[in-house]
Structure 1
């Protein structure tokens, strides 16, 4: 993904010739950056400290509550749907920073108070690093990421991994579709093309997607395109017509119609910082 950091203000992130390590609270992140299905080139750790909500990981939606940790390796298609009272912390780190981080997505339900305190303390220590002008800042942040990796592995060994039952055939299908979306969302391919690649009809794929995550196959594709479009339009360049072409739209007017349909404003208005009216994302027909 070519979009910028989660953060509206990228100041609490360090970058020296590579993607940044960043730490933020859920309240610092524009809601659409989390709620629209997307994948990232970074590893993401989400630590929920209060409240509840739902998360979609590789096309499968499940609930979460306080003291749940979700680790999402780079390339994982996900969307976070926090409740109104939800509070949490988010850590993003470059893929490949350490070989210790898990390679598969994790959803941990942490009940041990000591383990909860360990993770909160570690993330808060990273936040403090950003507030102090001290030498070897990058080295300190790298070390903290490695300690987070140790914490994750210990929690897996302690049996905190969410056990939502055996994966169904439908969920396996949706996971395969989610993986295909991360590779091909920027093309002009439609759901029928993806369904054909997976050896089934678009109707069957849509039924499986709705059961697994409450979204149709078209809505999943639409959200991934929309997230990337909004990331690109949050920057002054490239021009709107090039953004449209990069996302598989054959004309700028069609892209403008797409953005206005799903946000209520035009691409140029989004780029100028206009706040879209609250509305549910609708799929392109």
Structure 2
């Protein structure tokens, strides 16, 4: 894993994969140097906390995490560790979504349905689950996955980063497949999904995958429809049938989440946040925030920096 420096427009550095990698495994202690540093997740991540305890803050939610626990992070989410004891140990399996979404001709090995049918990765919230009876199974899977990664990956450059060659991806993806299926049995009970045609579900998932990565561009629904080779009306109907929500409403929610992240986790002036989110002016941004939240950007910033604790649990 590589950590990209903050850009002039972003201020929140992003964790990304380099060297052509699409999947990696890392094991580390959450040391003092990690505490308080804010990062934007650039990939999907399964994080297994198997030692000690720690405090995780992700998109305004605060989690007191006890080991053993499973944490699921989605691309775009902003997080930081605010506390950890000396025994806190984590193993992280990170992977790019195109492993799932690309066709086999482009190198995709698993279908998007596997990832998005599981109630684990939620761009609108973080999944943190304390594990009881399945802890030994998940721990063995993470340790085996880490061992195989070290055997099959290759050193990259002069640093500690390693790259998994494409022809070895299938081995690690087999572990990932099993880990996702095991993890799905741990997630909190949720309402049954809304019935919808399979094509609607798939199109809705693909729309959300693209939109999560491009929220700052504030693209209209028509641009996503063109990207997915359908008409805007077709995309709107499919997403509404699959989720009960229109694409434009979902894009507004994602933009509001990004606004909350930047107000709570950076010291950017409101004018700079507005510019980064592609608003014409700070006053336009303030009006938009008030319409959607009933609060001013300043009030959102104060609220985001004074969140109550959210404890992990089954």
- Tell me the TM-score normalized by structure 2: 0.45
- Tell me the TM-score normalized by structure 1: 0.49
